[in-house]
């Protein structure tokens, strides 16, 4: 195994001297700011409720925006910022960074992004930790390394990745966070009136209910293409029924229809459908995506940059491009750092479909910045400053963090 600290250069030496981590749990400004809105029964999800299951989905959710930020600081005082998508239990990811990654980063040259990221992955790889919380920790550090490298060179990350194919990122609006179809129809019509041409519905409520929602929204926004996120809710029979009905309707894609580990089932389903099957938020690296792509188990790759990091996301995009398949980066409750990282990746991949635009997340996401991003819902401009192009408000982060740690030399 090659030590991280091997990746130093004598010329123009830049060294990481401190690694700071911050766990944030930001309450939304109001009830409408809760991710995915109210419960299905119309009840509010309060910030003090802790972690809850939002039926019919199986996963834990928080009414707060929970995340981990990492700040890599050089001897000259320049910082780079990264973020892990850690919507529940962010303290676990923070501990992984502090305990396993930060000590290895001290003294490393952050401009050697790919070699350093590779060496960090090797630290626990033979123990099976390229996935899960360890992968989230690696993603946060990788994003921070790219940000710091961009700042040191005075260039945007997209330029360091080889250049941007586009400077405006076409988007789909993700979620109509209201509990009834009538309310969803009104919200969809409003988005369509603002220029939105694609909307994703968060469903999984049963085939008939999902199709009723789809038809109501499609009628309210006739110019918009509609995608369905089934949240892994269906068995084989119902996934086929839903998918074939979506074929008849010309759906944009069907996301996460079957249990998340069922590669063969998704491959069978995709073979029966014209509607593209989209998968990716549960996957962390190129090796996992290669299994799904090789099995023809997906037609739209959805890496979440807050879970893969930038380095792995670009490798995943190349694997998808080799099979002539598009990439639609996943983005849910990540704050502005992971959002900016996703935008740079979306700009730098040749085979972009659309970027996921999360309206309910954005107000919380940009609270950590000194200057807000311009985020129109149809096409988001690529941040143009050095690194990720966002200016993190470090004072706000330190004030709001529920846990702050520092690992430094000496």
Burial of 385 (0-12, 13-18, 19+ CB in 10 A): middle
Residue-wise pLDDT for 186-225, tens only, equals: 999 999 999 999 999 999 999 999 999 999 999 999 999 9
| Contact by Cβ (8 Å): 293, 267 | no
Q: How far apart are CA 224 and CA 227, in angstroms?
A: 10
Residue-wise pLDDT for 317-342, tens only, equals: 999 999 999 999 999 999 999 999 99
| Contact by Cβ (8 Å): 210, 204 | yes
Average pLDDT, the chain: 92
CATH 3.20.20.120: which residues of the chain? Answer: 159-381
What topology does CATH give the domain 159-381?
TIM Barrel (3.20.20)
Q: Which of 157-166, 350-359, 369-378 has the lowest mean pLDDT?
A: 369-378
Kindly tell me if the per-residue pLDDT of 51 is higher than 60. yes
Tokens of 5: 């600290």
Task: Count the Cβ atoms, other than its own, within 10 Å of residue 203.
Answer: 22
DSSP string, 311-327: HHHHHHHHHHHHTT--B
Residue-wise pLDDT for 118-127, tens only, equals: 999 999 999 9
| Contact by Cβ (8 Å): 161, 344 | yes
Average pLDDT over every residue of 292-308: 98
Q: How far apart are CA 17 and CA 72, in angstroms?
A: 8
Average pLDDT over every residue of 43-67: 78
For the stretch 301-311, what's the b/e string if a residue is b when 16 or more beta carbons lie within 10 angstroms of its beta carbon?
bbbbbbbbbbb
Which has more confidence, 364 or 117?
117
Q: How far apart are CA 399 and CA 403, in angstroms?
A: 10
pLDDT category of residue 153 using cuts at 50, 70 and 90:
very high
Q: Which residue has the tokens 């740079």?
A: 344
Task: Look at the alpha carbons of 174, 184, 66, 376 in this order and tell me if their dihedral is positive or negative.
Answer: positive
**Residue 206, by phi and psi: left (phi above 0), alpha (psi -120 to 50) or beta?**
left
Q: How far apart are CA 365 and CA 273, in angstroms?
A: 36
Kindly tell me if the per-residue pLDDT of 98 is higher than 50. yes
What topology does CATH give the domain 4-154+393-408?
Enolase-like; domain 1 (3.30.390)
Q: Are strands 60-62 and 254-255 parallel, antiparallel or unpaired?
A: unpaired
For the stretch 44-69, what's the b/e string if a residue is b when 16 or more beta carbons lie within 10 angstroms of its beta carbon?
ebeeeeeeeebeebeeebbbbbbbbb
pLDDT at position 9, please? 45
CATH 3.30.390.10: which residues of the chain? Answer: 4-154+393-408
């Amino acid at each position: 195994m090659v030590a991280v600290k091997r990746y130093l250069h004598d010329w123009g030496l830049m060294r990481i001297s401190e690694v700071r981590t911050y766990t944030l749990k930001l309450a939304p400004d109001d009830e409408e700011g809760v991710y995915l809105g109210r419960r299905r029964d119309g009840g509010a999800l309060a910030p003090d409720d802790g972690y809850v299951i939002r039926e019919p989905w199986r996963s834990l959710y928080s009414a707060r925006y929970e995340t981990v930020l990492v700040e890599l600081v050089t001897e000259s005082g320049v910082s780079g910022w990264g973020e892990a998508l850690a919507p529940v239990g962010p303290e676990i990811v923070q501990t992984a960074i502090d305990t396993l990654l930060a000590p290895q980063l001290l003294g490393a040259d952050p401009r050697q992004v790919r070699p350093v990221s590779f060496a960090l992955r090797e630290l626990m790889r033979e123990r099976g930790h390229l996935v899960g919380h360890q992968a989230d920790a690696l993603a946060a550090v990788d994003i921070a390394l790219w940000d710091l490298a961009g700042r040191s060179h005075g260039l945007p990350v997209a330029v360091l990745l080889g250049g941007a194919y586009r400077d405006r990122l076409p988007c789909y609006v993700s979620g109509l966070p209201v509990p009834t179809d009538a309310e969803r129809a009104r919200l969809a019509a409003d988005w369509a009136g603002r220029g939105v041409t694609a909307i994703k519905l968060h469903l999984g409520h049963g085939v008939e209910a999902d199709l009723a929602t789809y038809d109501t929204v499609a009628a309210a926004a006739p110019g918009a293409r509609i995608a369905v996120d089934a949240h892994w809710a269906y068995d084989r029979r119902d996934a086929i029924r839903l998918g074939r009905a979506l074929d008849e309707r010309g759906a944009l894609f069907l996301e996460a229809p079957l249990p998340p580990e069922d590669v063969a089932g998704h491959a069978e389903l995709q073979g029966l459908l014209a509607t593209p099957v989209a998968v990716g938020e549960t996957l962390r690296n190129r090796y996992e995506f290669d299994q799904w792509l090789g099995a023809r188990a997906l037609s739209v790759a959805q890496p979440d940059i807050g879970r893969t990091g930038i380095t792995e996301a670009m490798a995943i995009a190349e694997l998808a491009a080799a099979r002539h398949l598009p990439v639609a980066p996943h983005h849910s409750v990540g704050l502005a750092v992971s959002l900016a990282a996703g935008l740079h990746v979306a700009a730098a991949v040749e085979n972009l479909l659309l970027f996921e635009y999360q309206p309910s997340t954005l107000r919380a996401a940009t609270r950590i910045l000194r200057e807000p991003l311009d985020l129109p819902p149809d096409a988001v401009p690529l941040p143009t400053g050095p690194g990720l192009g966002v200016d993190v408000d470090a004072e706000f982060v330190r004030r709001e963090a529920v846990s702050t740690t520092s690992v430094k030399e000496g």
